[in-house]
Chains A and B, each alone.
Chain A
């Protein structure tokens, strides 16, 4: 199956800081999604972004499909942003990366 690598694996930020999370994938994909898994385990859809750039409030994402990577930007981070961020790519079914664990401290 497709390999999905996320970096960094762990990230600790001061509240108000900005961050960039990266997702690299090994083959062509039909689509790409970013999820936030909150401390209660819930997987929350952030972006459905097979290519291009999207923005939603303090979050934005860019996928460059030809170069097989996607970036998730978090600006002015808040403690509620803490959790694990997953990138998942679809090639018949969703392949998940191992995630970036983000901790935002007040």
Chain B
């Protein structure tokens, strides 16, 4: 158990819908990262927050957004869902922003039908 929690574990929804994925980092970690793992794209970095502020952006679509709250939990919002958004979404946390080990949550498996 990494100490990072994610909910829900599984999510099935229809195209065009909007979903919210939730992540709680390990106790004491200030940085939260979101990753997407799909069959064709592999594991890709989406976005990073550090202590409530956006720190870095990767291959995140405009239909996707995230935030980190004062209690340091984070939410990833996915809207106007398409079939190609079906993937495993991971949250990771680390103590700080750079050069610290990242610990991954169990992931949320999103299926868009």
> Which residues of A does B touch, CB under 8 Å?
30-31, 33, 35, 41-45, 48, 50, 86, 88, 90, 92-96, 98-99
What distance in Å separates the Cβ of A60 from its nearest Cβ neighbour in chain B?
17
How big is chain B's contact interface, by range?
20 to 34
A45 in contact with B98 (CB, 8 Å): no
Judged by DSSP, the binding face of B is strand
Q: Write 15 A-B pairs (CB below 8 A) sorted by A numbering.
A: A31-B100, A33-B102, A35-B104, A41-B106, A41-B107, A42-B104, A42-B107, A44-B2, A90-B98, A90-B99, A93-B33, A94-B45, A94-B92, A98-B42, A99-B42
Measured CA separation A99–B100 after assembly (Å): 21
Query: Which chain B residues lie closer than 8 Å to A98 at the CB level?
Result: 42
Which 7 pairs across A and B sit closest by C-beta, in order of nearness?
A96-B43, A48-B101, A43-B104, A30-B99, A93-B45, A31-B99, A93-B56
